Amino acid sequence: MTSPYAGWLPPTHTNVISSTHLKGGGTTKTTCAILLGHALSRFGHSVRVVSYDALHSAVSWAEKAQDHLSLTAGAYRPWPENYFVEPANTPEELYGLVHGSTEEFTIIDGGPADPDALQTIARLSHRIILPTEPSMLVAEQVTPVVEYVNEVEEEQGRKIPCQVLLVRVMTGSKLTGTVEDALSAVNISMMKTRIPNNGMVTRAAHTVPTRLYGYEFVAEELLAA
């Protein structure tokens, strides 16, 4: 059956990047969306994050940081003026906020882990990032995402670069190499940047972070692409 959203395309006036996954909570999608947004904003680009997630943790992050309500924050740092975070609760709201974005970059924090939502996100995206922990189950979780994105590529007759971002990478762990090999063996593309595992990232939630924990390199890689 053809999806009612099959005709939806990304806008041409803003660069839409999604941080999403089929696996549900805890893949670091929201952290990726928010910290990548800060990186792009610090490089001088305007950013809109659209939270497409029932819990809207991205919105709560921005609001708590603006109100200085984090339990872990140090000195108050103002939220950047070129950085906006908005909630979308329906595909139509998502479409409206993505197409209505007047920012240079629009980042979708794609929370819901079902194929329909993933394909809706893909239809509106120029590029997809799949934040993924190096675990033995990783290839299994990534392959179906790539297949759903491939369906949208065929439907729309365009390429949608879809890359794994390895996150929470432990230094010296052999597992990371094993997972990289497993992903390469099934032709899954990976970003060059790896995000190290760092407990400070958890403390950065609900703040304007002082450091970007590797997301500045993700931003550089995207800007160079």
Ligand X SMILES: Nc1ncnc2c1ncn2[C@@H]1O[C@H](COP(=O)(O)OP(=O)(O)O)[C@@H](O)[C@H]1O
Q: Which of 75, 95, 79, 93 is nearest to 14 (CA)?
A: 95
Window contacting ligand X (CB under 6 A); options: 85-93, 116-124, 142-150, 192-200: 192-200
Q: Are 146 and 55 in contact (CB under 8 A)?
A: no
Query: Token pair for residue 105?
Result: 């970059």
Q: Please select the residue that binds Mg ion; options are 14, 18, 30, 163, rule is CB under 5 A.
A: 30
Q: Please select the residue that binds ligand X; options are 167, 208, 212, 219, rule is CB under 6 A.
A: 167
Q: Which of 131, 201, 136 is nearest to 164 (CA)?
A: 131
Using CB distances below 5 to 8 A depending on partner kind, what does residue 202 bind out of Mg ion, ligand X, none?
A: ligand X
Other beta carbons within 10 angstroms of residue 32's beta carbon come to: 25
HEC per residue, 92-129: HHHHHHHHCCCCCEEEEEECCCCHHHHHHHHHCCCEEE
Give the nearest distance from C-beta 57 to Mg ion in angstroms.
5
141 lies in the site for Mg ion, by CB under 5 A: no
Using CB distances below 5 to 8 A depending on partner kind, what does residue 198 bind out of ligand X, Mg ion, none?
A: ligand X
Other beta carbons within 10 angstroms of residue 159's beta carbon come to: 10
Q: How far apart are CA 125 and CA 50, in angstroms?
A: 12
Looking at beta carbons only, is 8 or 47 nearer to ligand X? 47
Give the nearest distance from C-beta 92 to ligand X in angstroms.
23
Using CB distances below 5 to 8 A depending on partner kind, what does residue 46 bind out of Mg ion, ligand X, none?
A: none
Q: Identify residues 62-121 at the interface with Mg ion (CB under 5 A).
A: 111
Strands 15-20 and 47-52: what pairing?
Answer: unpaired
Give ∠ CA 41-72-77 in degrees, rounded to 5. Answer: 35
144 lies in the site for ligand X, by CB under 6 A: no
Looking at beta carbons only, is 193 or 197 nearer to ligand X? 197
187 lies in the site for ligand X, by CB under 6 A: no
20 lies in the site for Mg ion, by CB under 5 A: no
Residues that bind ligand X (CB under 6 A): 25-31, 57, 167-168, 195, 197-199, 201-202, 205, 213
Residues that bind Mg ion (CB under 5 A): 29-30, 57, 111
